[in-house]
Amino acid sequence: MKIYLDNCCYNRPFDDRRNIKNYLEREAVLLILQKAFDGEYEIYGSGVLEREIRQIIDPDKAKSVEGLYYAVIKGSVELNDSIVARATEIRKHANIKAFDSLHLASAETFVDLLLTTDIKFLNACKRLKLSIKVMNPIDFVMEVDEDGRID
């Protein structure tokens, strides 16, 4: 299975673990990343994601997130005119931020699943007709079968 994690997923392992939602999402993201390291999943990124990671204000966190990102990705989708056009179309049909629409459009070109911890983004995706699934990492971990597939 090919998976795209958005920026919030890469940040989650470095977020405050005292918040139970952050803690559970952190554990789910780390489990997914471990399975990618073990060869069960392929993780793909994008030029958009790389740009967003570089905008993290805390330099130590930015370095940690960037290191995690580059350690796990199998490849990266580069921004092109068709991705920008699809992102524009997505924004016309849903209240989705520019970066998120670019993540979604990038993911649609190459993966089966986009993971996000952003509830607003996730809910907006539910209102769209998409060629991929969009899920919270916790839901993915809970729904994946023993063969690594979701229904």
Does residue 150 sit within a domain?
no
CATH number of the CATH domain containing 60: 3.40.50.1010
Count the domains in the chain: 1
Range of the domain at 11: 2-143
**Residue reference for tokens 């290191």:** 67
pTM of the model: 0.93
Does residue 110 sit within a domain?
yes
Does residue 48 sit within a domain?
yes
β-bridge mates for residue 133, sequence order: 113
**Residue reference for tokens 């139970």:** 20
pLDDT (tens digit, 9 = 90+) per residue, 86-130?
999 999 999 899 999 999 999 999 999 999 999 999 999 999 999
Query: How many degrees, rounded to 5, is the angle at CA 130 between CA 127 and CA 135?
Result: 75
